[in-house]
Amino acid sequence: MSTIFSKIIAGEIPADVVYEDEHCLAFKDINAIAPMHILLIPKKELVNLSDAKELDKELLGHMMLKTKEIADSQGFEDYRVVTNNGAGAQQSVFHLHFHIIGGRSLNWPPG
């Protein structure tokens, strides 16, 4: 699988990285919809959340816990975490990613 995110992970495309460890990478979204709009991606290639298996639960848990650390590092206490699962849900890059969004009033319901 080759997506823009796999190319960012490989260092082929530059990104404004705000966090990285052996499991995941977080960088600022180039089409930000809020003062904080960061994409958190696993280094393991997963198409979307539905592609995850039981063996991915530690990775997913790790990523969810990292959202707070990332938001804190950007100076935001309140934030939303969103993932789109499939084209019908507006997923445009088919590599699992979480949007960490904050810094403005976020309406409910989204969409």
Instruction: Kindly list the catalytic residues.
Output: 97
**What are the Cα distances from residue 99, in Å, to 5, 77, 80?**
13, 15, 8
How far apart are the C-alpha atoms of 15 and 74, rounded to whole Å? 16
DSSP 26-54: EEE-TT-SSSEEEEEEESS--SSGGG--G
